């Protein structure tokens, strides 16, 4: 099977994480003709104070699909319950099979240290799957012909801060997303169940404004209005070239 070379997979914990943390880069890659896939480990079933788990999970799945579709992308979910994302054999197998179905060139996921353990466990799943999915015996699902270990990037932790020290995390690459910021806000607004809840709670559109504040903070690193920051995984066997910088810087 012939596979395209320009495929980005953003594998995050919950619906809306991708839009908050790297929506601008996904938009810019889509504009360059890349295939965009957004995946979540969890189904978002704790994303409401009033709706039952099954109902809010279904709503959040539709919102995830709408956000991805708005930039020509595809949404996937491993459908694990919120607060129960774990790094175990069954979930590793689900992640490897997702990666085999998508066969990404670039993967973006959570950093190793973040405010929520669902994020940290998703990091482990993404890192395991990125390394493992080309290995023939890693799963009964056959790997695509020519599959190789992808470029792996870690988005910022929430608020850009290490949760254990409070210090700002310093990126290896920061990408200007000023031209994509309004489209990024539109992607995030697709997650209306979360936006409406926060808007009612805060009395303002905090969901969108918090995203813009952090993007502006990262923009100051490169003297641009809005930006997104990443750290590249440069461990053994992973690609060493900074493809995001080459394409988008």
- CATH code of 52's domain: 3.40.50.10320
- Is residue 85 domain-resident? yes
Q: Which two tokens stand for residue 131?
A: 């390394």
Within 8 A by CB and 6+ apart from 219, the residues are 176, 178, 225, 226, 227
- Is residue 248 domain-resident? no
User: Crossing angle of helices 192-202/53-69, nearest 10°?
Assistant: 110
Within 8 A by CB and 6+ apart from 135, the residues are 143
Number of domains, the chain: 1
- Is residue 1 domain-resident? no
- Is residue 247 domain-resident? no
- Please answer whether residues 6 and 120 qualify as being in contact, where contact means their C-beta atoms are separated by less than 8 angstroms: no
- Is residue 244 domain-resident? no
Per-residue pLDDT of the chain (249 residues; tens, 9 = 90+): 445 689 999 999 999 999 999 999 999 999 999 999 999 999 999 988 889 999 999 999 999 999 999 999 999 999 999 999 999 999 999 999 999 999 999 999 999 999 999 999 999 999 999 999 999 999 999 999 989 999 999 999 999 999 999 999 999 999 999 999 999 999 999 999 987 767 666 565 688 889 999 999 999 999 999 999 999 999 999 999 999 999 998
- Is residue 246 domain-resident? no
- Please answer whether residues 59 and 171 qualify as being in contact, where contact means their C-beta atoms are separated by less than 8 angstroms: no
- Burial of residue 29, with CB atoms counted within 10 A of its CB: 0-12 exposed, 13-18 middle, 19 or more buried: buried
**Where are the strands (E) in the chain, listed by range?**
7-12, 35-42, 74-80, 106-109, 151-155, 173-176, 227-232
- Give the strand pairing for 151-155 and 227-232: antiparallel
- Is residue 159 domain-resident? yes
- Please answer whether residues 190 and 67 qualify as being in contact, where contact means their C-beta atoms are separated by less than 8 angstroms: yes
- Is residue 243 domain-resident? no
pTM (whole model) above 0.85: yes
* Domain span at 114: 7-238
């Amino acid at each position: 099977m012939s596979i395209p070379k320009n495929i980005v997979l953003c594998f995050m914990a919950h619906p809306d994480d991708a839009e908050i943390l790297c929506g601008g880069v996904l938009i810019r890659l889509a504009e360059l003709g890349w295939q965009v896939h957004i995946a979540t480990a969890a189904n978002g079933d704790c994303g409401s104070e009033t709706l039952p788990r099954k109902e809010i999970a279904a709503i959040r799945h539709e919102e995830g699909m709408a956000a991805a579709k708005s930039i020509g992308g595809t949404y996937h979910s491993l459908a694990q319950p919120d607060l129960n994302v774990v790094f175990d054999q069954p979930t590793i197998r689900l992640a490897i099979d997702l990666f085999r179905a998508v066969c990404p060139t670039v993967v973006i996921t959570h950093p190793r240290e973040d405010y929520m353990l669902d994020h940290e466990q998703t990091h482990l799943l993404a890192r395991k799957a990125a390394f493992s999915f080309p290995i023939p015996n890693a799963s009964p699902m056959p790997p695509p012909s020519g599959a190789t270990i992808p470029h792996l990037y870690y988005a910022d932790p929430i608020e850009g801060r290490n949760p254990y020290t409070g210090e700002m995390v310093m990126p290896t690459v920061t990408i200007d997303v000023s031209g994509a910021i309004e489209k990024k806000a539109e992607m995030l607004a697709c997650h209306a169940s979360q936006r409406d809840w926060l808007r009612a709670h805060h009395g303002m559109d905090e969901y969108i404004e918090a995203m813009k504040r952090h993007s502006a903070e990262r923009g100051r690193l490169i003297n641009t209005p809005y930006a997104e920051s990443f750290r590249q995984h440069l461990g053994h066997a992973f690609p060493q070239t900074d493809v995001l910088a080459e394409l988008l810087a």
